[in-house]
């Protein structure tokens, strides 16, 4: 299949490219290199089934040219600002980078007759809830600009799917960890320890506890959802098993990148930042009913990620 | 209270201004006059508690100037493109006129310390469902650009409410009828009959059946929701009682604006247009538990609207 991957040089995008290429697909990968890094895909530079182009999904004429030149059969749209704190600091950022990139892709697909879309949404569309929510549950009350912009994008994927013939897979990503990550707690802690091994400053009280999913398990989940028969719109939750506290992540990172003397200094408060959801769990029965389950639980996902980054760098 | 009403010259906006003024509030009404009409508010021109300004909610510097000059205590944000068919024909229209107007208002409120927002959302955020959905139910899968843009706007209202101190009331409007309407079946049918009384061309098969709410009953519902204690985010469904088919509306309009010889010609198909939800009902128990109920059922709402327009014009 001839496939476009947006955000191809990003953390998850680059892993997805590896997997799709291993399945024999022909890929064009685009990335504006805002968060993505060429080193994530440099190992693909000699692969005849892969072509990279630096292109921003906000560049409508660039997208149109690309779609007219290549006849894509499917689009995996992963380009986004995945840095939640940055999106809260600049309140217009996520609307542009997460939503308007998506409406741009939707329009390019519609104008060029490309029907199959995989869209990387997020569990943050739900906001903060007591119970484990399934795909069809409400309410959807995001508490971060990241979650709001992804919910807004989902809304437009819904219209193109239900009224304009698109076949959309909306996949709500959980917290994902692994090599090539460009942000998140593990990334931040390692960067901090590289500058100063005496103390690790941690946002919040360290008790924020979340299920982390290892990136290879996420790619398995994407393949599972993608293999399902096409419907107008299919929505999937994915999540790690178990949960890991920020304190445990800090201790794991210190074990590999710190010293026995490294101290953890907590900033205090239940949230790492405004819009941080300190504790959550999602119902993933739908994906599990299709045979998917993660090979690493949350603790193993964190440990394996830290070890892989220690061995090979980000 | 000193209140800003956006979309003040529109159908519902102008009725809301009348009601808020009758309660002793001081209003500034703005409208870009895209759908709104000065004749809807010309009766307010001598009222010292009301000031009108032609201003577009997409004009960020204009909004900023207005917010800095007037110290609003609350904003009723009704400005929108409420013409669903127009929004589907021009796929960028509703994103701009319904969503970006809202993020503009949210930002102006945030920057100027205004906390209380009433936001006019729509039952179209739900999409098409078999069961009567309540406020907290999902899934939210809009099938029109109108519904998608309003869901996107709700998402951003949610963030400003949950993380930036806004107190938001999200009010999901149903199909509303009454004098001063600027679009919708009654409006279209009367306009068509004014041009040609021999035949009334109707979109769809005439069997699309929806609950219609009379505008005065809607304003009652808004007052009921607004009187509730402030919370970060409160969401309300409103809907008419009973339901009226397009065929019944056509017959009522013909009885007042046609002749005994006027024929109804149906275009055929279950939907009036792509994105039309042919049949729906919403759970309004939340608003009813606060004491609201409409004084007119759907049939009476349609009849009263047609009679009022016959007597006084649009």
The CATH code of the domain that includes B195 is 3.90.25.10
B89 and B232 co-located in one domain: yes
Half-sphere exposure of B253 (CA within 13 A, CB side): 28
Per-residue pLDDT at A211 exceeds 70:
yes
What are the backbone angles phi and psi of residue A138, rounded to the nearest 5°? -125, -175
Helix axes B101-111, B145-164, angle to 10 degrees: 10
B13 and B73 co-located in one domain: yes
- Do the beta carbons of residue A80 and residue A101 sit within 8 Å? yes
The reply to whether B62 falls in a domain is: yes
The reply to whether A229 falls in a domain is: yes
Per-residue pLDDT at A279 exceeds 80:
no
Radius of gyration of chain A (CA): 19
C-alpha B174: how far from chain center: 7
Task: Identify which of A92, A143, A233 has the shortest CB distance to residue B162.
Answer: A143
The reply to whether A216 falls in a domain is: yes
Instruction: Work out the angle at residue A230's Cα, subtended by the Cα atoms of residues A163 and A16, and round it to the nearest 5 degrees.
Output: 110
Q: Mark which residues 84-143 of B lie under 8 Å from A by CB.
A: 88, 91, 95, 99, 103, 107, 110, 125, 127-128, 135-143
The reply to whether B274 falls in a domain is: yes
Which pLDDT does position A132 carry in this prediction? 85
What are the backbone angles phi and psi of residue A136, rounded to the nearest 5°? -90, 0
B90 and B189 co-located in one domain: no
Range of the domain at B167: 2-176+213-237
User: Which residues on A lie below 8 Å from B148 (Cβ)?
Assistant: 155-156, 158-159
This model of the complex carries an ipTM of: 0.94
B48 and B118 co-located in one domain: yes
Q: How many domains does chain B contain in total?
A: 2
B258 and B170 co-located in one domain: no
* Neighbouring C-beta atoms of residue A291, cutoff 10 Å: 9
Would the CB atoms of A151 and B149 count as touching at under 8 Å? no
pLDDT string in tens for chain B (314-residue length): 999 999 999 999 999 999 999 999 999 999 999 999 999 999 999 999 999 999 999 999 999 999 999 999 999 999 999 888 899 999 999 999 999 999 999 999 999 999 999 999 999 999 998 888 999 999 999 999 999 999 999 999 999 999 999 999 999 999 999 999 888 899 999 999 999 999 999 988 999 888 999 999 999 999 999 999 999 999 999 999 999 999 999 999 999 999 999 999 998 887 776 767 766 678 999 999 999 999 999 999 999 999 999 998 87
B250 and B105 co-located in one domain: no
Would the CB atoms of A151 and B155 count as touching at under 8 Å? yes
Phi-psi region of A152 (alpha: psi -120 to 50; beta: other; left: phi over 0): alpha
B53 and B192 co-located in one domain: no
Q: Which 8-state DSSP code applies to residue A115?
A: -
A47 and A162 co-located in one domain: yes
Q: How far apart are CA B30 and CA B55, in angstroms?
A: 6
- pTM of the predicted model, to two decimals? 0.95
A108 and A249 co-located in one domain: no
Give chain A's end-to-end CA distance (angstroms, integer).
Answer: 30
What are the backbone angles phi and psi of residue A270, rounded to the nearest 5°? -75, -25
Which pLDDT does position B132 carry in this prediction? 85
Which pLDDT does position B162 carry in this prediction? 96
- Burial of residue A193, with CB atoms counted within 10 A of its CB: 0-12 exposed, 13-18 middle, 19 or more buried: buried
Per-residue pLDDT at A130 exceeds 90:
no
Give the model's confidence band at A246: pLDDT under 50 very low, under 70 low, under 90 confident, else very high: very high
B156 and B43 co-located in one domain: yes
Would the CB atoms of A155 and B140 count as touching at under 8 Å? yes
Phi-psi region of A47 (alpha: psi -120 to 50; beta: other; left: phi over 0): beta
B131 and B64 co-located in one domain: yes
The reply to whether A288 falls in a domain is: no
Residue A165 belongs to what H/E stretch?
none
The reply to whether B288 falls in a domain is: no
Beta strands in A106-205 (DSSP E): 116-122, 167-173, 175-177, 199-202
Q: How far apart are CA A110 and CA A107, in angstroms?
A: 5
Per-residue pLDDT at A110 exceeds 90:
yes
B108 and B190 co-located in one domain: no
| CATH at A145 | 3.40.50.720
- Do the beta carbons of residue B292 and residue B224 sit within 8 Å? yes
Q: Which 8-state DSSP code applies to residue A87?
A: H
Would the CB atoms of A159 and B139 count as touching at under 8 Å? no
């Amino acid at each position: 299949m001839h496939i476009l991957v947006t955000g191809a040089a990003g953390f998850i995008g680059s892993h997805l490219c590896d997997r799709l290429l291993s399945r024999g697909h022909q890929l064009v990968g685009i990335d504006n290199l805002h968060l993505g890094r060429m080193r994530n895909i440099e190992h693909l530079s000699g692969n005849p089934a892969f072509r990279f182009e630096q292109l921003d999904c906000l560049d409508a004429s660039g997208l149109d040219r690309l779609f007219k030149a290549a006849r894509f059969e499917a689009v995996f749209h992963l380009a986004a600002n995945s840095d939640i704190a940055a999106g809260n600091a600049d309140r217009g950022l996520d609307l542009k980078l997460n939503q308007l990139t998506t409406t741009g892709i939707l329009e390019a697909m519609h104008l060029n007759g490309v029907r199959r879309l995989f869209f990387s949404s997020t569990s943050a569309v739900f906001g903060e809830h007591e119970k484990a929510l399934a795909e069809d549950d409400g309410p959807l009350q995001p508490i971060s600009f990241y979650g709001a912009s992804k919910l807004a994008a989902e809304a437009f994927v819904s219209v193109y799917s239900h009224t304009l013939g698109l076949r959309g897979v909306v996949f709500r990503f959980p917290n994902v960890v692994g090599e090539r990550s460009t942000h998140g707690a593990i990334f931040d802690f390692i960067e901090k320890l590289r500058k100063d091994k005496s103390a690790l400053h941690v946002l919040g009280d360290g008790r924020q506890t979340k299920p982390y999913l290892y990136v290879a398990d996420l790619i398995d989940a994407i393949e599972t959802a993608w293999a399902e028969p096409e419907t107008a719109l299919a929505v999937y939750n994915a999540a790690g098993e178990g949960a890991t506290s920020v304190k445990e992540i800090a201790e794991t990172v210190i074990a590999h990148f710190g010293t026995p003397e490294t101290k953890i200094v907590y900033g205090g408060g239940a949230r790492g930042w405004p819009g941080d959801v300190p504790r959550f769990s999602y119902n993933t029965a739908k994906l599990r009913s299709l045979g998917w389950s993660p090979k690493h639980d949350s603790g193993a996902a964190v440990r394996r990620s830290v070890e892989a980054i220690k061995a090979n760098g980000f």
